[in-house]
Structures are given as structure tokens and as C-alpha cells.
């Protein structure tokens, strides 16, 4: 399940803010942050806000392919790339593919399908004390 994650730095003893955007399946957005409780004392509590597309609207959203097929049948090209954009994309990607042909697997980190990614990704982000948020 792909997630985009933004974390705000929290003070000592206070949980960091977390905005998590779920793409597919179970599309939705979660926001976790600390808030001061009403009153004169300084008490902080974690607040969790959850939006689930399917629950909020009573039906699951269409899949990406359903949306594209319907747009195609209706003649709506909004979500489709124009030919000049596709050509430009290949102009950008072709040099990368050519370099990979030259260098082979050198510098590419392999990992098993279904895993959380290569160890090198963990090593990279942990250099400055960060870590990936596991779902």
C-alpha cells in the first residue's frame, strides 16, 4: 500500500506530527498531531483524524483503470498524456536507460518483491537519525 509521509519534528516527550496519505487500496488521509487540552494547565494529548474515502461516501472509489476507461468512453482526455509529453519523457528517460546498459547492476540496490526495500534505503535515512514509518 503506497503512502506519502511527512513528519514534523516533535519536542522531547511530544509525538511528531504525521500526515499519511493512502493511495490504493483503501484511499484516505490520516493526520496525527499533539494538541493542548483546554484549561490552565499544560497538558498535551495526541489527536488522530482519519478520512477514509469508502466510509465517508458509502462506496469504494472506482479503480484507476475504471476511471481511465470511463474517461476514454466519454472522450475526456484530461488524465491522458499528450504525444509531445510522452516524447519528452522518453528524451529524459533514454539517457538513464543507456547508462544502466553500460553500468549493469553497479549501483542498483536489489530487494525482494513484497519487502520494505533494500537495506541501503534504511542506511541512507538513518544517517541523520531518521527512520521509515512501517505500516
pLDDT tens sequence across 71-112: 999 999 988 899 999 999 999 999 999 988 888 777 788 899
Residue linked to cell 513528519? 7
Q: Which residues pair with 34 in a beta bridge?
A: 46
CA 41 to chain centre: 37
- Structure-model confidence comparison of residues 11 and 16, the more confident one: 16
> What is the sign, positive or negative, of the torsion defined by CA atoms of 124, 127, 133, 134?
positive
Asked if omega into 37 is within 30° of 0 (cis), the reply is: no
Rounded Cα–Cα distance for residues 17 and 47 (Å):
10
What is the domain partition of the chain in residue ranges? Answer: 1-59, 62-107
Amino acid at each position: 500500500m503506497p503512502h506519502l509521509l511527512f513528519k514534523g519534528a516533535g519536542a522531547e516527550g511530544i509525538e511528531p506530527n504525521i500526515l499519511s496519505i493512502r493511495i490504493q487500496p483503501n484511499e484516505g488521509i490520516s493526520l496525527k498531531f499533539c494538541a493542548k487540552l483546554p484549561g490552565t494547565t499544560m497538558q498535551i494529548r495526541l489527536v488522530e483524524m482519519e478520512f477514509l474515502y469508502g466510509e465517508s461516501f458509502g462506496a469504494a472509489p472506482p479503480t484507476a483503470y475504471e476511471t481511465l476507461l470511463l474517461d476514454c468512453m466519454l472522450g475526456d482526455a484530461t488524465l491522458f498524456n499528450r504525444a509531445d509529453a510522452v516524447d519528452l519523457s522518453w528524451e529524459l528517460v533514454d539517457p538513464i536507460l543507456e547508462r544502466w546498459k553500460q553500468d549493469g547492476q553497479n549501483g542498483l540496490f536489489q530487494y525482494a518483491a513484497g519487502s520494505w526495500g533494500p537495506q541501503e534505503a534504511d542506511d541512507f535515512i538513518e544517517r541523520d537519525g531518521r527512520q521509515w514509518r512501517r505500516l
